[in-house]
Structure 1
Amino acid sequence: MHKILLKNAQIVSETDIKTADILIEGERIAKIGNNLSDTADKVIDATGKHVFPGIIDDQVHFREPGLTHKANIATESRAAIAGGITSFVEMPNTNPQTTTVEKLQEKLDIAKETAFANYSFMFGGTNDNLDEILKVDPTQVAGLKLFLGSSTGNMLVDDEAVLEKIFSSTDMVISVHCEDEGTIRKNLAEYKEKFGDDIPIEYHPIIRSEEACYLSSSRAIALAKKTGARLHVFHLSTGKETHLFDNSIPLEEKKITAEVCVHHLWFSDADYKEKGTHIKWNPAVKTASDRDQLWEALLDDRIDVIATDHAPHTLEEKSNVYTKAPSGGPLVQHALNAMIQAHKQGKISLEKIAQKMCHNPARLFQVKDRGFIKEGFYADLVLVDLEKSYEVSKDNVLYKCGWSPFEGTTFDSTVTHTFINGNLAYAEGTFSEKRHVKQLEFNR
C-alpha cells in the first residue's frame, strides 16, 4: 500500500482554513496533523498551496453515447480533473437516453473503462417510463432527472398526472430542469415572426424568461410539498426563484434544495454582445440584478450547491443562427478557477466554495466517504496555487469541442495537483497514464 505525505497544506473546509500535513495510505486519508513524520513513498511540499476536497459536480453532460462528436466521458472527465473536479454526475439526455436500466448499465460500463474521475449517473424520467424508474437501484445512481422544459431528445415530462405519480413513487432525489414550455413556445413564436430564425441573441433571456422559470419552479416545489418528494432544482437563473427556497434548517433536513451554475454567477445579459451564442444556455443567462440575487441566495444558504451544467457543442454548431444554435457550453476545466476569482473579488470565501462545491453535493446526494478532507475518507484532493495566474486560450483548453466561454480570461489561480482515490491523477499539467477511479457509492 503506497503512502504519500503532503506537508504544510492549507486545508480548506466550510469552517476554517488550517495548516496541517495529510498522510495518504492507499486510497484513503490515514492521518491529518502537524509535523507528521511517517515514512512515505512520496513527499509533496504543499507550502503555500490550498487543499480543497475533490469537487463533486452534480450536473454534467459528457455526451456519451450517441453525441460523441461533441465530447465523451474520457475527454471531459480528463478536463474535469485538471480543474479539480474528482467526481461527476452525468445527465441522461444522451442518444439513446438513459431511461431504462439496460441503458444505465451501458453507461456505467463505459465509465468504468474510460473515465478519469469518479462517476455516477442520473436516471431519466419520461412521460411513459415509470416502470423502469421503479426498477432502479437507488444505491447505483445519484438520483432521478426530469426535464420540465425542453431538452436534447424527447425527454420533456409534461403530463401532470405522470409527474405527480413519479413524485409520489420514488424516494430518490428528483432533480429538475424548470422552464415552462408553454411560455417559451409563445415567446419564441413572437420573436420568430419578427426576426425569422436569426433572432438576435440578446432576446434569449426574454424568450426563456423569468416568468417561464418561476412558473415551472414554483409548480415543481408545490408538487414536492404535496407529495413529500425529495426535490432538487437545478441551475437557478433568476432572482425571483431564489425566494422559493429556505435557509432556516440544515441541508440534511431540507426536502427541497437548489443549485446555481458557474455561468449564471459569472455572466449577465450584458455579455451577449461580445460572447454571442457561446453563452447561450438553458436556462438563459439573465440580468446583472438576477446575478446579484443569485449570489445573495448562495451566500445565505437558500442555494445549496454550485455546479457546472457542462454541456459542450462544437463551434460549428454554436455558430448557427439563434434557432439552430444549441444551448450549453463547456465549463468543468475552469469552474473552480472562476469561483476562486470571485473570491479574489470579495464575493465569496474559500470556505464557502468548499461548502457549496464539495461538502454539500456529498451531503445532498449522500455520497459515501467523499466531499470532505477527513481521516478515513477517500483521498480526493485538489491543490491550488492562489498566486499562479494563467490565461484561458485555445492552446490550453482540454475539452473535445476545443473552445471555452472563458477564452481571453485571466484566472489568478491554478490547479496544480489532483488526487483521486489516493492516486496522483494530475500534476503540473501532466496526467497519470493510470486511472484509479470508482463508481460513486451512496449512504442509502
Structure 2
Amino acid sequence: MLLIKNINIYSPTSLGKKDILICYDKILYISEDIKIPENFPDCKTIDGSNFTALPGIVDLHVHIAGAGGEGGFSSRTPEMTLSNLTLNGITTCVGLLGTDGSTRSMGNLLAKANSLDEEGITTYIWTGSYQIPTRTLTSSARGDIIFVDKIIGIGEIAISDHRGSHPSDYDLIHLASEARVGGLISGKCGITHIHIGDGRSMIDPLKHLVESSEIPLYNILPTHINRNSKLFKECIDYCKLGGYVDITTGIRPNGDDVVDPTTSYRALLDEGCNIENITMSSDSGGSMPIFNESGKLEDLTIGLPSTNLEVFRDLVRDGMSIDKAIIPLTSNPSKLLKLLDKGHIKEGFSADIMLLDKDYNLHTLISRGKIMVENYKAVVKGKFEA
C-alpha cells in the first residue's frame, strides 16, 4: 500500500489538495485527510506537499521495438528501454512498426510489448506498418484485433509518403472497415492510425475515406499533422468538422516549415476544435529522417519520449492551465483508445501517477501502484539496463 499525503491533484481537472491511497495497482481512496490505523499492514507514505499529481502519460505512438532504416542497416534505431519511458512520465504506451515491416516483425513488436508489461508499465500495440497489405500475426488485421489481447487497432498506415505503398481509396476504406469490425467484436477501439507524410496529396486519401465510407470519425486517427504548415491548415479544417487528430511532440522546428506542437495545440483550440478530439504522442524510438526536394536523405535523428513533458511544460509556462495542457497526453488518448481505467486520477482507476515538482519536472512516477522513478532517478530498470 502507498499513501500520498497533502498533494495538489489534477485528475486532469483540479481536485485541490488531497490524499491518495493506493492498494496494489489501483487508486483505492481520495480524500482530504486519510489516516492509517495503528497496527495496519505496512504502508509507505509520501509527503506530496511540494508536488503536483497528474495522471501518467498515455503515449499512443511509440516505436518500442525500434524503427528506421532509411539510411541503411546501421540506421535502424534500437529498442526502447523501460527507463526511457518511465523517466519521461509514460505509464501506458502503444507500440508500432513504421517504415520497416520487413526486418521488423509483428512478433518482435508483441514480444517487446509483453517485456515492458512484465517490467511494470502497461502496453498495447497497433498491427501493421506503413505498407498495405499490412503486416499481421494472424490471417488478417481484423483477426489480430479480435484474437490478440494487446492489439487494439491498425497502424501506422502511411499516406502521402514516398515510403508508403500509396494505398488506393478502396484499400484504405477496406482496412478501416476491418479495424472497426475487429474493434466492435472485441470491445476495443478499432482505430486505423494513419501516418501523414509530406506528399502533395496531403490528407486527400483521408478525406476520401471519410466521404466515401460509413466509418465513424472516432475510428480514424491521423498523426504527424504538424509536419508542415500547409498540411496543418488542412488538418485544422478536418478537426473542425469533427475529426480526431494527433500532434507529434517530437516534431520541432529547426529552420524549416514544421509547426511547433505547442503552437499547433493552441491553434486548434483557437479555431474552435473540440479539445476532446486532440491527442499528442511522441513518435519516440522512431527515425526522424530529413529528405531534400529530390528525395535524398540528408540527415536522420531519433524521436525522444522526453518531448511529451517538454511540450506540457512549455504550454504551462506560456500561461495555459495545467488541466488543459495535460488532457491531450492523458484523458483524451485513454478515452479514444477505450482504456477505461487510464488517463485519470480517480478511485478504482489504475494507479498511474506522476509527481511533478514546482518546475514541472518529474520527481516520482508510480505505474500500476509501483514506484518506478523516485527523486528523479529510475529505481526500477529493465532486465538488461545498466
Report the TM-score when normalising by structure 2. Answer: 0.78
Report the Cα offset of residue 89 of structure 1: 0.9
Report the Cα offset of residue 299 of structure 1: 7.1
Q: Tell me the equivalent position of 2:64.
A: 62
1:26-74 Cα deviation digits (max 9, x unpaired):
1111111111112553111011211111110011223437869654444
Report the Cα offset of residue 158 of structure 1: 1.9
Aligned residue pairs, count? 349
Q: Tell me the equivalent position of 2:159.
A: 148
Report the Cα offset of residue 334 of structure 1: 3.7
C-alpha separation in 2, matches of 1:414 and 1:287:
21
Report the Cα offset of residue 343 of structure 1: 1.0
2:84 corresponds to which of 71, 76, 79: 79
Q: Tell me the equivalent position of 2:170.
A: 161
Q: Which amino acid aligns with 2:56?
A: G
C-alpha separation in 2, matches of 1:24 and 1:417:
15
Q: Tell me the equivalent position of 1:259.
A: 246
**Does the residue aligned with 2:49 lie in a helix, a strand or coil?**
coil
C-alpha separation in 2, matches of 1:328 and 1:300:
33
Q: Tell me the equivalent position of 1:417.
A: 364
Q: Tell me the equivalent position of 1:325.
A: 298
Q: Which amino acid aligns with 1:79?
A: N
Q: Tell me the equivalent position of 1:4.
A: 2
Q: Tell me the equivalent position of 2:186.
A: none
Name which of structure 1's ranges 169-178 and 3-12 shifts more when overlaid on structure 2: 169-178
% identical aligned pairs:
18
8 Å Cα contact 1:239-1:293 kept in structure 2? no
The unaligned stretches of length 5 or more in structure 1 are 184-211, 248-253, 274-283, 388-412, 437-444
C-alpha separation in 2, matches of 1:41 and 1:289:
40
Where does 1:352-431 land on structure 2 (aligned, <5 Å)?
A: 352-387=324-359, 413-431=360-378
Q: Tell me the equivalent position of 2:192.
A: 174
8 Å Cα contact 2:225-2:248 kept in structure 1? yes
Report the Cα offset of residue 259 of structure 1: 1.4
Report the Cα offset of residue 382 of structure 1: 0.4
C-alpha separation in 2, matches of 1:352 and 1:92:
30
Q: Which amino acid aligns with 2:108?
A: E
8 Å Cα contact 1:54-1:380 kept in structure 2? yes
Q: Where is the helix percentage greater, Structure 1 or Structure 2?
A: 1
1:319-370 Cα deviation digits (max 9, x unpaired):
9998213566423124213312221111x22111332111111100001411
Where does 1:27-42 land on structure 2 (aligned, <5 Å)?
A: 27-38=25-36, 39=40, 40-42=42-44
Name which of structure 1's ranges 352-361 and 419-428 shifts more when overlaid on structure 2: 352-361
Q: Tell me the equivalent position of 2:237.
A: 243
2:279 corresponds to which of 305, 315, 318: 305
Q: Where is the strand percentage greater, Structure 1 or Structure 2?
A: 2
Report the Cα offset of residue 114 of structure 1: 4.7
Q: Tell me the equivalent position of 2:314.
A: 341
Q: Tell me the equivalent position of 2:140.
A: 132
1:381-434 Cα deviation digits (max 9, x unpaired):
1000123xxxxxxxxxxxxxxxxxxxxxxxxx3100011110000112322246
Distance 1:72 1:359, change over 3 A: same
Q: Tell me the equivalent position of 1:110.
A: 112
C-alpha separation in 1, matches of 2:315 and 2:297:
33
The unaligned stretches of length 5 or more in structure 2 are 181-189, 227-231
8 Å Cα contact 1:53-1:373 kept in structure 2? yes
Distance 1:288 1:367, change over 3 A: closer
Q: Tell me the equivalent position of 1:122.
A: 126
Q: Which amino acid aligns with 2:192?
A: I
Q: Which amino acid aligns with 1:87?
A: T
1:74-106 Cα deviation digits (max 9, x unpaired):
43x42221111111112222644599xxx4343
Report the Cα offset of residue 18 of structure 1: 1.4
C-alpha separation in 2, matches of 1:22 and 1:298:
35
Report the Cα offset of residue 155 of structure 1: 4.3
8 Å Cα contact 1:92-1:98 kept in structure 2? no
Q: Which amino acid aligns with 2:365?
A: T
8 Å Cα contact 1:61-1:91 kept in structure 2? yes
C-alpha separation in 1, matches of 2:364 and 2:263:
35
